[in-house]
């Protein structure tokens, strides 16, 4: 009985030491970016769904204190649609026109996140929250219909990040990371001829990747 109790206590101590040991890892992942359209300022703004790549450097000091720095890239095409009324006088009255444009572009995101986690066998569930900068970069001038074009502009927006996931250890220093990340930020105005919707939008990102742990 006493021997069994001692073994149980020893096992708990070893397990706790394993959880508390500081560790650092680097991760490369792929994800899907899914953003809902938004309406405001007389404009409907429709981001395209896209695939992207995420790179993380993560340091876990203890179960409640962990940090990571991330860089993410994905295509971030935006469509803008605006309806206008034009008055031409008595013969025709008011005529409605719909203007639209599609802006091809890329999104670069840099964040710093806090995370909490715990180790259970070869699994490590975690949650995270943080923030950073989302840089939206158009790749070309665009048409508004007919022969008219509108210039584009790069915009940087603050972004709030939250999420959670699970690390699955495959080998002592290698494993898989499954996570969900949510981004909240204000819609960008990439086409100068169109206002943005002015709304806060949400991008959902299911992520899968592989990590190397030092």
pLDDT tens digits in sequence order for the chain, 214 residues long: 555 545 544 454 444 444 457 899 999 999 999 998 999 988 999 999 999 999 999 999 999 999 999 999 999 999 999 875 444 555 555 455 567 888 999 999 999 999 999 999 999 999 999 999 999 999 876 655 555 566 889 999 999 999 999 999 999 999 999 999 999 999 999 988 788 898 999 999 999 999 999 9
Look at residue 8 in the predicted model and tell me its pLDDT. Answer: 47
The residue ranges of every structural domain in the chain are 22-213
> Looking at the whole model, is its pTM more than 0.85?
no
Biggest alpha carbon distance in the chain?
102
CATH number of 22-213: 2.40.160.20
Give the C-alpha separation, 47 to 196, whole Å: 11
Coil, helix or strand at residue 6: helix
Look at residue 151 in the predicted model and tell me its pLDDT. Answer: 84
Cα-Cα-Cα-Cα dihedral sign, residues 98, 197, 157, 31:
negative
Look at residue 196 in the predicted model and tell me its pLDDT. Answer: 87
Which neighbouring-strand residues pair with 184? Answer: 160, 202
Coil, helix or strand at residue 15: helix
Name residues whose C-beta falls within 8 Å of residue 156's C-beta, 6 or more positions apart in sequence. Answer: 133, 134, 135, 136
Coil, helix or strand at residue 95: strand
Look at residue 86 in the predicted model and tell me its pLDDT. Answer: 46
Residue whose C-alpha is closest to residue 71's, from 58, 55, 57, 59: 55
Give the C-alpha separation, 11 to 194, whole Å: 64
Look at residue 91 in the predicted model and tell me its pLDDT. Answer: 57
Look at residue 97 in the predicted model and tell me its pLDDT. Answer: 58
Residue whose C-alpha is closest to residue 14's, from 119, 117, 171, 167: 119
Look at residue 193 in the predicted model and tell me its pLDDT. Answer: 79
Look at residue 176 in the predicted model and tell me its pLDDT. Answer: 98
Transcribe 156-172 into DSSP letters: EEEEEEEEEEEEEESSS
Neighbour-count burial of 19, counting CB atoms closer than 10 A to its CB (0-12 exposed, 13-18 middle, 19+ buried): middle
């Amino acid at each position: 009985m006493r021997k069994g109790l001692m073994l149980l206590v020893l096992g708990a101590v070893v397990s706790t030491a394993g959880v508390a040991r500081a560790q650092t890892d680097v991760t490369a992942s792929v994800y899907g970016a899914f953003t809902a359209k938004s309406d405001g300022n007389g404009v409907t703004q429709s981001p395209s769904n896209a695939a992207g790549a995420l790179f993380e450097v993560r340091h876990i000091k203890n179960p409640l204190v962990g940090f990571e720095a991330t860089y993410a890239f994905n295509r971030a095409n935006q469509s803008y649609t605006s309806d206008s009324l034009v008055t031409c006088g008595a013969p025709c009255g008011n005529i409605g026109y719909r203007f639209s444009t599609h802006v091809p572009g890329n999104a670069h995101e840099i964040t710093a996140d806090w995370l909490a986690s715990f180790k259970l066998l070869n699994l490590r569930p975690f949650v995270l929250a943080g923030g950073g900068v989302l840089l939206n970069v158009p790749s070309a001038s665009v048409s508004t219909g007919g022969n008219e074009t509108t210039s584009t502009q790069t915009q940087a927006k603050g972004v709030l990040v939250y999420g959670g996931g699970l690390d699955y250890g495959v080998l002592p220093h290698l494993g898989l990371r499954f996570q969900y990340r949510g981004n909240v930020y204000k819609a960008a105005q990439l086409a100068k001829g169109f206002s943005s919707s002015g709304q806060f939008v949400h991008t959902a990102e299911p992520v899968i990747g592989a990590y190397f742990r030092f």
